[in-house]
């Protein structure tokens, strides 16, 4: 017989409008978000409860917490200013500290030049790009991430930059420090691989001398 779903797991912001329809279909609805390392860890615990795998989930959470603590132990505030970009098909946004990527950079001791900027209505943990703000802050490094393995958002951003000479005034661009992050670690919620995400970032910054 065909499998029939009895639960829908979605995103708090993106799927909230779908709740009445889903509940009318008789589905239990669970809306989640993972905008920080702590929230990702909480999600793992939640899925453990839903799937009746509490023991395995708790063991995984303990391992992740220990690895995160070990990775950031002794971290000092790095002398580096970063612009963290997120490319979707038709837009490039700046990650705020309230986003998951922003939280990872914060744990790594990085100054996010977009801290304090207003979030977008649709993506409240991201801000609209402000070239004026970027030029004023003059980031040392620019990190770019995409939702999937599609190279087009990064290529489009590079093409947009080429059409605006002001980008070439930035320290990051002069020093060839525009870094495309692996999407499986930064483009979506990496789940248990959150430790790898943080370690990748730490290694990247270390290799740049920060």
Buried b / exposed e across 136-168, counting CB within 10 Å, b at 16+?
ebebbbbbbbbeeeeeebbeebeeebeeeeebe
Element (H, E) at 16: none
The token pair that represents 99 in the structure block: 């986003």
Strands 81-88 and 91-95: antiparallel
The two tokens of residue 30 are 């669970």
Q: Where would I find the beta strands (DSSP E) of the chain?
A: 7-11, 28-32, 81-88, 91-95, 111-112, 126-128, 141-146, 178-180
How high is the pLDDT of residue 175? 96
pLDDT of residue 85: 96
* Cα–Cα distance measured from residue 163 to residue 143, given in angstroms and rounded to the nearest whole number: 19
**pLDDT at site 189:** 79
Along the chain (210 residues), what's the average pLDDT of each consecutive run of 10 residues? 52 58 60 74 84 88 92 81 92 94 94 95 92 96 87 88 93 96 87 92 93
């Amino acid at each position: 017989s065909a499998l029939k779903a009895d639960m829908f797991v979605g995103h708090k912001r993106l799927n909230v409008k779908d709740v009445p329809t889903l509940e009318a279909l008789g589905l239990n609805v669970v809306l989640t978000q993972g905008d920080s390392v702590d929230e990702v860890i909480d999600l793992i615990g939640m899925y453990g409860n839903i799937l009746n795998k509490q023991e395995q989930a708790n063991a995984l959470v303990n391992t992740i917490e220990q690895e995160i603590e070990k990775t950031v132990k002794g971290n000092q505030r790095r002398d580096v200013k970063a612009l963290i970009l997120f490319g979707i098909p038709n837009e490039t946004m700046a990650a705020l500290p309230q986003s998951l990527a922003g939280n990872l950079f914060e744990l790594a001791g990085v100054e996010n030049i977009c801290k304090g900027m207003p979030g977008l209505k649709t993506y409240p943990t991201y801000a609209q790009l402000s070239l004026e703000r970027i030029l004023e802050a003059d980031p040392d490094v620019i990190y770019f991430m995409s939702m999937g393995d599609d190279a087009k958002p990064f290529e489009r951003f590079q093409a947009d930059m080429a059409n605006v000479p002001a980008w070439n005034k930035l320290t990051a661009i002069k020093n060839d420090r525009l870094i495309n992050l692996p999407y499986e670690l930064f483009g979506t919620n990496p789940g248990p691989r959150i430790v790898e995400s943080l370690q990748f970032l730490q290694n990247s910054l270390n290799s740049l001398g920060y």
